[in-house]
Amino acid sequence: MTDILMPALSPTMEEGVLAKWHVKVGDTVSAGDVIAEIETDKATMEVEAVDEGEVLEILVPEGSEGVKVNTPIARLSGDAVAPAPKKADAPAETPKAEASKAETPKAEAAPAPAAPKSDDGGRIFASPLARRLAAQAGLDLKAVKGTGPHGRIVKRDVEAAGKGGAQPAVAATAAASAEPRKALSLAQMGIADGTYDLIPLDGMKKAVARRMVDSVQNVPHFPLFIDVEIDQLMAVRAKVNKMLEPQGIKVSVNDFVIKAAALALKMVPEANASYTPEGIAMHHNADVSMAVAIDGGLITPIIRKAETKGLAQIATESKDLAKRARERKLKPEEFQGGTFSVSNLGMFGIKQFTSIINEPQGCIMSVGAGEQRPVVKDGQLAVATVMTVTLTCDHRVVDGATGARFLQAFKPLIEDPVAMLA
């Protein structure tokens, strides 16, 4: 008899909703059979059995919310093992997924010991390297104070503890001693009970809230603004769409923006980077995340290697990803691991806005509406269609000069888009 555990379907997943069972007690399952649907904070995924056996007991009924990762959800006869998410490269081994939560996403992560728990049951945040070194040295991470971001334990902390030396934990001590912000009820803030309807937070709302607060509190944001003229882009777009009409493909302004941003990232690779405690990660490809509004939140599916793709391919992929995002049918690898984000509110008539950085990315681009504005050309007043673009940067990675060089590379690509078609 084997317990089937709640799998970790993404590096950041801590709990999920057991949306639906596809089996019942007494059913016999084989490897590859879909046994359940799990709703994470971003998507609904099918879970497959990886071995055969008889379902002896359903421990968690369908529709249950807040099911913690690694919780037994069913029992199977025989020597079966826990199920894996559909089409995943390997079975979902929760300890590894747990161990990667606080790490910067990496394409190939070396195996690391499972993340330990503190005395109160909470996770101890430590890098995989720190956990590995601690395990080799026989150190208890509960006794090690972290000096990394958010008090995370990094290599130097383990080395210092191993030598018996004092750790430079001033920042961690200050964070630990700070009193957590106490949430006041609406009644305490003057809003009477019974004067509003309360909509419970679902997993996505909680995840978005947590990530946005973490980003604002821990990433030193700063914005850069630039105006770009898009009259030529609109003319080229009309011609391109006429050519692609027989194929049923329609290229949007946002598709041009994604392509231009990807090319600009290759021209200014310092902007295609992420901050980590161990150093600055310089990404090899421009994997551009595009913000998609869905019911109850926001998700950022990714156009991988956008610098290598034509406008027609980007348009096709972005339409497909946006459709499946709204249906919550995306796979984790389709919305995790981008290197740069684009958020466009131009279709709502928003002229200009500043976005919150999507960690661990170094930048996010906010695109406003194109509108006719007066401009000066050769000393003469004229009218042009102008679009305001804001680049929000993580100052630890992209300083003002680097951000400016990126926008200098981006602007001519948008204003003369023929260069993108070469």
Specify the pLDDT at position 180.
58
Q: What is the pLDDT of residues 295-326, one digit of tens each?
A: 878 899 999 999 999 999 999 999 999 999 99
Higher pLDDT: 127 or 336? It is 336
Percent with pLDDT over 70 in the chain: 82
Q: Are 410 and 261 in contact (CB under 8 A)?
A: yes
Tens digit of pLDDT for each residue in 283-293?
Answer: 999 999 999 99
User: 3-state DSSP call for residue 201?
Assistant: coil
Active-site option among 150, 221, 284, 395: 395
Reduced to 3 states (helix: H, G, I; strand: E, B; else coil), residue 55 is strand
C-alpha Rg value of the chain to the nearest Å: 24
- First-to-final CA distance of the chain: 61
Exposure string for 171-194, b = 16+ CB within 10 A, e = fewer: ebeeeeeeeeeeeeeeeeeeeeee
How does strand 34-39 pair with strand 15-21? antiparallel
For residue 357, which of 291, 404, 411, 402 has the smallest C-alpha distance? 291
Query: Using DSSP, how many helices (H) and how many strands (E) does the chain show?
Result: 10, 19
CA count, 13 A, side-chain hemisphere, 129: 11
221 is a catalytic site residue: no
Place of tokens 């690694």: 70
What is the chain's mean pLDDT, rounded?
A: 83
Per the model's pLDDT, the better-predicted residue between 371 and 422 turns out to be: 371
Closest CA to 256 of 422, 405, 419, 417: 417
* pLDDT of 67: 87
Q: Provide the whole-model pTM.
A: 0.64
CA–CA dist 292, 77 (Å, integer): 42
- Cα separation, 297 vs 207, in Å, equals 9
Q: Which residues contact 213 (CB under 8 A, 6 or more apart)?
A: none
For residue 164, name the pLDDT band (cuts at 50, 70, 90): low
3-state secondary structure of 183: coil
Tokens of 174: 């200050």
